[in-house]
Amino acid sequence: MKRFITFVLLICMITGLAACGSVNAESSSDSGSDAISAVESQSEAESEAEETGAVEEESSGEDSGSASSGGKLLVAYFSCTGTTEQIARWIIDETGADSYEIVAEDPYTEEDLAYYTGGRADQEQADDSARPAISGSVEDIGQYDVIFLGYPIWHGQAPRIISTFLESYDFSDVTIIPFCTSHSSGIGSSAENLHDLCSDTVTWMEGRRFSGDAAESDVVEWIDSLDLPESEVRSVSEFDFETKTVLLNSGYEMPIMGLGTYSLSDEECAVSIAALLEAGGRLIDTAYMYGNEAAVGQAVRDSDVSREEIFVITKLYPNQFDHAAEAIDEALEKMGLDYIDMILLHHPGDGDVEAYLALEQAVADGKVHSIGLSNWYVEELEEFLPQVNITPALVQNEIHPYYQENDVIPYIQSLGIVVQGWYPLGGRGHTAELLGDETISAIAEAHEVSSAQVILRWNLQKSVVVIPGSSDPDHIRENLDLFGFELTDEEMEQINELDRNEKHDWY
């Protein structure tokens, strides 16, 4: 989110340009955050306030009591340079809230955000009636009782896109907790001026301003002072079988089952992804080496499902590690997407640490939301993790009843990293044997489901995300139908006993 080349833009990064993106209840969205940065023309008074660490904090509303009524939490934020997004991520980590990144339908450019140039942001802030359009929406806004609302300070106020957001939903009886990011000015009247956009039944709690150098401890201290309900706190890496998602350590939610596109041709990709999305699936896995990234991107763009609801994973192959930054841009261009939900390193190789650091920069630039690894095991992780800054959100390995990784999965999960299994049905040349296994077939018969459904459900109950590959729409629909039955402890153990430590691919 901080991708600038001039001195003016570097200052913008410090003060925080607001970004755009959206997450939740499904994953996704562009980067972002902090206020239109003050450029060289910023007033001397503001500069002095920043240098002395002056922070203004004022009540953001008439009601400043605690949000103790219970219910689900949502962090909704608008961001452009990463500062507001970082604060939002820390709130999400601390509270387990869902997240929604407010993304402009017409993304802001660096020129749009330059202060005092008469550009788009200047014009919008000077026009009380300006309402920039938002891409995507929050699903079932009524499920949230408490909403953290984050934004950068632009000309002393919240960006007009925040007004668009507040006027797009009914927030009756909801508690809203504003927070802002700013180079020097406090939250001031920015939150109070939003009150008239909502019902009188909204409870506005006291807002908080965070500077560009705020620490996670500052956010945690503030959260602790709010007396938030604990009943709805969701743990990172915890599977939610109701929403069919898992909360990643990056703050984004990811579906726990989807579609693998390995070996699918462009035409097969289009048909398969259409079937997946029609059946309610939202997770798609591809890779540079699959040769179908462009087809995946086309299928996503052609779908009636909003981009924010779809979670796309791709991977960099080792032959891309020495030019990882360019490879990331190539993937974005090939897919025709504004952002990629997750990029993994396909497997260990020369330059993998440097390639991962490039992924970290892509996160900072808003090009990628979450990053991770594929085909990394205990020894590889122990060597790799101390050399990087961002803990992987996901590790994707071969996992099926004949190769269970029962020593690896708990280790990865203990680090707060989600595990995803490829070849969940055994892989090419082995699927028929696995689906015909007597133990699995007997369990399937008992539940009146297919062997494939039993294996996929076994994975889910081990908190392993599944991405079975298929070009058959009927099989794709069946592979998503995993929540009408539950395996018993005895059945889980019976499948566990099938482990042969039999790997079906060389990774």
Integer Cα distance of 375 and 354 in angstroms: 17
Residue of 161, 170, 21, 160 whose CA lies nearest to 99: 21
Q: What is the DSSP letter of 36?
A: P
| DSSP annotation string for 411-458 | HHHHTT-EEEEESTT--TTTHHHHHT-HHHHHHHHHHTS-HHHHHHHH
Task: Round to whole Å and give the CA distance between 13 and 263.
Answer: 42
Burial of 463 (0-12, 13-18, 19+ CB in 10 A): middle
115 catalytic residue (yes or no)? no
Nearest to 235 by CA among 466, 463, 489: 463
Alpha carbon distance 324, 321 (integer Å): 5
Distance CA 467, CA 356 (A): 23
Q: Residue 211 carries which DSSP code?
A: -
Angle at alpha carbon of residue 79, lines to 77 and 84, rounded to 5°: 75
Catalytic residue (choose from 100, 108, 151, 290): 290
| Type and span of the H or E element at 410 | helix 408-414
Q: Which active-site residues does the annotation give?
A: 290
